[in-house]
Chains A and B, each alone.
Chain A
Amino acid sequence: MLDTDVKVVYQRPRGFEELPTHYCPGCTHGVAHRLIAEVLEEMGELEHTIGVAPVGCAVFAYNYFAFDFVEAPHGRAPAMATGIKRSLPDATVFTYQGDGDLASIGMGEIVAAASRGELITVIFINNTNYGMTGGQMAPTTLPGQVTTSSPMGRDVERQGYPIRTAELLSSLDGAAYVVRRSLHDPKNIRMAKKAIRTAFEVQKQGLGFSMVELLSTCPTNWGMTPANARVWLAEHMVPYYPIGDFKVSSSIAYDKPKGRD
């Protein structure tokens, strides 16, 4: 055995079950899952975390994470997370929600949770459509984008304009950390991971509500190969949904925080 030269450079995070996922090939839900598992492992939080799954393609997220999970009614994850966090203030609590779940049916709950400064972290998957139900229009669907319920392309006159959720929530005083990242290439994925880490640190430090919006692909309902879907994301989504920090509370200390190892 070449035990001197062999170095592990990549392995399944401890926060993951050893299971194939049900996500479509090339879907970035898997990438987002991995980043969360890595961050929680690095922070030593795996044993203290409770996740809240949405209704959407990620409804089965609880199958893949190796820690406690609950599953919320459509859009209500921030309310359930609130109940959990208020009952177990020391736990790390996060929701994982799609754009239909969070920005359409669940807009009330997310706004209320953010404005209360609820100490939860929200991972928000923006893939511009309702994946699970077969690709209907979402609040995030781009102008002109064809979906199964905007068959002529989203007509902003009749169907309104897309919601920039991160910007919207950033206006709330209870929100401490609200940023947007993307999952379309390695550089952006690394940036996304850093942001997820910060969001969880914000929760640990009790600074307020934290959310990371992640621009994601849905190759199946977009009718594209995974590679083309990433290009489409970069070319169409990023210009409409700029990557950036929309709310970073001044008390956030970026470098220091350590987990509870």
Chain B
Amino acid sequence: MQTEVIISGFGGQGTLYAGQVLAYAAMDEGKQVTWIPSYGPEMRGGTANCTVVISDEEIGSPTVKHPKAVLALNLPSLDKYEDMIAPGGCLVVNESMVNRKPERTDIRVVMLPANEIAREIGNERAANMVMLGALLANMDILPNEALEKALKNHTAQRLQKFVEMNIQALRRGGEYRAS
């Protein structure tokens, strides 16, 4: 079994970090995993995305044309990736940053106002974790607790103070189901 997830948004929305948390969780669960960012000049203030591939066997390509899941944190990401998702796949959309609904009907769509939710918890920057929580709740990739464990185990000492908030964000995101 192999799952590919693209996480995409503006630079500064924490898409690369969210991908790393997912990758750590997969690693701790004994899975094979790759994390690869898009890198380059477009990163400066532009969009930032990464692809995470999780698998039970040696991973071939670290990038895919048709990912099983996409987290779109902003409108350009929704526009870019909606059509690419594999049929039956899952699209998680940050409602706070888009002005339209996805059009595809052959995929599962989770809409949630990640920025608002994160703000309620105390920091808008946790929107990435809200999105990630929603993904795991709607797709059988890893056990839900895996992300929480990964956050606890792999967050640098000086950032440990944010772990609780991020866990809350994951849980709040996990309350949303595909419509």
**Chain A residues with a Cβ under 8 A of chain B:** 22, 24, 220
Contacts and interface: CB of A to CB of B under 8 A. Distances in A.
Nearest to B45: A24
B41 interface: yes
A248 to B, nearest CB: 39
Nearest to B46: A22
A220 B44 CA distance: 9
Interface of B: 41, 44-45
Give the secondary structure class of A's interface: loop
Contacts of B44: 24, 220
4 contacts: A22-B41, A24-B44, A24-B45, A220-B44
A24 B41 CA distance: 11
B10 to A, nearest CB: 15
In the complex, the 4 A-B pairs of residues with the closest C-beta atoms, listed nearest first: A24-B44, A220-B44, A24-B45, A22-B41
B178 to A, nearest CB: 39
Contacts of A220: 44
Nearest to A24: B44
Nearest to A23: B44
A24 to B, nearest CB: 7
A90 to B, nearest CB: 36
A127 to B, nearest CB: 15
A22 B44 CA distance: 10
A22 B40 CA distance: 13
Nearest to A132: B41
Contacts of A24: 44-45
